[in-house]
Chain A
Amino acid sequence: MTLMQNAITAAPLLSVQGLTKRYGARIGCMGVGFDLYPGEVLGIVGESGSGKSTLLSCLAGHQRPDEGRILFDGADVLAFSEAERRRLLRGDWAYVHQNPRDGLRMGVSAGGNVGERLMAVGARNYAAIRETATDWLGRVEIAADRIDDRPSAFSGGMQQRLQIARNLVTGPRLVFMDEPTGGLDVSVQARLLDLLGGLVRDLGLSVVIVTHDLAVVRLLADRLMVMKSGRVVECGLTDQVLDDPQHAYTQLLVSSVLQV
């Protein structure tokens, strides 16, 4: 039972309270709160305009919320200076964009893309940087001989895997993902899901993943938050929310998709 005890007594890695973002009279997200524990994957689902992307960008520090608190490892992230915030973004946090072009430097080789975060935190040994980059390309199933190719020469799935390697190379503890499998072929999606699942388990990552794809959260997320019109309408265990949805909107959402 020790494992159970550990899981239950551990402190949350990320604690969000009353997060609100307005755009004038329009609500981006409203009163969102949750705790994310080490090693947990939280899925956020909802249709376009439900506020899930606004929430993610507030969490990841791309936008400043109007109200609420975000505690990471107990520290009040919104009180951070920009320098501290950016240090977090290239150290303990990572962000995987839906479009790999937004998360990669397209004019820089694959090795340089993976090495950038290392160099940003002070790595100054070329051979060591290259070795680490090669190792990470292998982990995301990119052949070592592609290390000097630019991402523009890669397929969409490879670009997305490269973006993941680039983000995880410095061993972040919390990863934000915005529709990481969006825009990919189904077979490529499966491969990426497999990869992400393995990395999450092996590295003990905590993940907040935003998607509209219920099949993706079914396979990756431990817990699920359903958003509508900027508010959280339901949250709980992923399979509970999908198998026994309580809120009218969630019932509609679940019944509207093909069997997952």
Chain B
Amino acid sequence: MIEIRNLSKSFTLHNQGGVAIPVMAGAHLRVAGGECVGLVGRSGAGKSTLMRMVYGNYLAGGGSIRIGEIDVVTAEPRQILALRRAVLGHVSQFLRVVPRVPTLEVVAEPLLRLGVPPEAARTRAADLLARLNIPERLWRLSPTTFSGGEQQRVNIARGFAHDYPALLLDEPTASLDAQNREVVLRLIEEAKARGAAILGIFHDEGARDRVCDRLVDVTGFTPGMAA
């Protein structure tokens, strides 16, 4: 489902003397449907960079990232937008939403964008929020005022609202208590069971061991860091 070949990337800092920093070279990776692959490697090795290139918010320097029929590296913006709407989900560590929008709408939004009827979208959103133990009295409020853990759970609910065939998870269990961590791990297992291809970063080793089928060390893709 996700197939990365010979991916490379460097940053050029034009305002700091035009210095070019190579951050990735020769990255290969494959995630099949129903599989969860965990990225590992020491901090700064490029786990997040790789995830962002797959999602399309970092530009690749060379190589290819095929997700279904689309190569993210060469795709037009609107193809990536369509991919993100229907195929590729992303749970990031930060919740970025328009202020003042109620939590229920934030979670239902990916489904509304896909044209799911509002009733059905809100029902699904309510189910997820309930599962993730967000008290119902908060659903009408904007999540911008919530605690870090609550925001993280809203973010997860939003990321799992639609059954994406491919999912990117960036530290999905960070800052969660044991009970909610368990809910998230179950959500991941369910996604795998329905055939989703999952690529994730998990610092939580217990979680990593439980859901990941394989681990890939990105240090091997990092120029000058290969041990």
Q: Do chains A and B touch in the complex (CB under 8 A)?
A: yes
* Interface set of A (CB-CB < 8 Å, partner B): 1, 3-4, 7-8, 37, 40, 190-191, 193-194, 197, 201, 218-219, 222-223, 236-237, 239-240, 243-244, 246-248, 251-252, 255
> Is B83 an interface position by the 8 A CB rule?
yes
> Is B77 an interface position by the 8 A CB rule?
yes
Q: Which of B70, B98, B114 has the most CB of A within 10 A?
A: B98
Can you report 18 A-B residue pairs in the complex whose CB atoms are below 8 A from each other?
Answer: A3-B114, A4-B70, A40-B78, A194-B98, A197-B101, A219-B96, A223-B78, A237-B77, A237-B81, A239-B57, A240-B57, A240-B58, A244-B11, A244-B52, A244-B59, A251-B14, A251-B15, A252-B15
Contact at A4–B87, with CB atoms within 8 Å? yes
Contact at B77–A201, with CB atoms within 8 Å? no
> Is B112 an interface position by the 8 A CB rule?
yes
Contact at A236–B99, with CB atoms within 8 Å? no
> In the docked arrangement, what's the CA distance between A124 and B204, Å?
66
Give the contacting residue for A248; candidates B15, B79, B97; CB below 8 A.
B15
> Is B148 an interface position by the 8 A CB rule?
no
Kindly provide the distance from the CB of B23 to the nearest chain A CB, expressed in whole angstroms: 11
Contact at A201–B80, with CB atoms within 8 Å? no
A-B contacts at CB below 8 angstroms, number:
86
Contact at A8–B79, with CB atoms within 8 Å? yes
Contact at B82–A244, with CB atoms within 8 Å? no
> Which A residues touch B97, using CB under 8 A?
219
Contact at B56–A194, with CB atoms within 8 Å? no
Contact at B81–A201, with CB atoms within 8 Å? no
Contact at A255–B98, with CB atoms within 8 Å? no
In the complex, residue of chain B having the shortest beta-carbon distance to the beta carbon of A219: B98
One digit per residue, 1 when the CB lies within 8 angstroms of any chain A CB and 0 when it does not, for chain B 1-39 equals 000000000011111000000000000000000000000
> Which A residues touch B149, using CB under 8 A?
none
Contact at B98–A197, with CB atoms within 8 Å? yes
* Interface set of B (CB-CB < 8 Å, partner A): 11-15, 52, 56-59, 68-70, 77-83, 85-87, 96-101, 109, 112-115
> In the docked arrangement, what's the CA distance between A218 and B101, Å?
16
Kindly provide the distance from the CB of B5 to the nearest chain A CB, expressed in whole angstroms: 20
Contact at B57–A237, with CB atoms within 8 Å? yes
> In the docked arrangement, what's the CA distance between A246 and B57, Å?
12
> A1-B68, A3-B114, A4-B87 are known contacts. Are A240 and B59 too (CB-CB below 8 A)?
yes
Kindly provide the distance from the CB of A155 to the nearest chain B CB, expressed in whole angstroms: 16
> In the docked arrangement, what's the CA distance between A219 and B11, Å?
25
Contact at B77–A191, with CB atoms within 8 Å? no
> In the docked arrangement, what's the CA distance between A191 and B99, Å?
7
> In the docked arrangement, what's the CA distance between A191 and B100, Å?
7
Give the contacting residue for B56; candidates A201, A240, A255; CB below 8 A.
A240
> In the docked arrangement, what's the CA distance between A239 and B82, Å?
15
Contact at B59–A222, with CB atoms within 8 Å? no
Kindly provide the distance from the CB of A216 to the nearest chain B CB, expressed in whole angstroms: 10
Give the contacting residue for A194; candidates B80, B85, B99, B114; CB below 8 A.
B99
* Further contacts, 9 of them, CB under 8 A, given A3-B114, A8-B79: A1-B68, A1-B86, A40-B78, A219-B96, A222-B81, A237-B57, A240-B59, A244-B57, A244-B59
Give the contacting residue for A193; candidates B56, B77, B99; CB below 8 A.
B99
Kindly provide the distance from the CB of A144 to the nearest chain B CB, expressed in whole angstroms: 22
> Which B residues touch A37, using CB under 8 A?
78
> Which A residues touch B69, using CB under 8 A?
1, 4
Kindly provide the distance from the CB of A211 to the nearest chain B CB, expressed in whole angstroms: 15
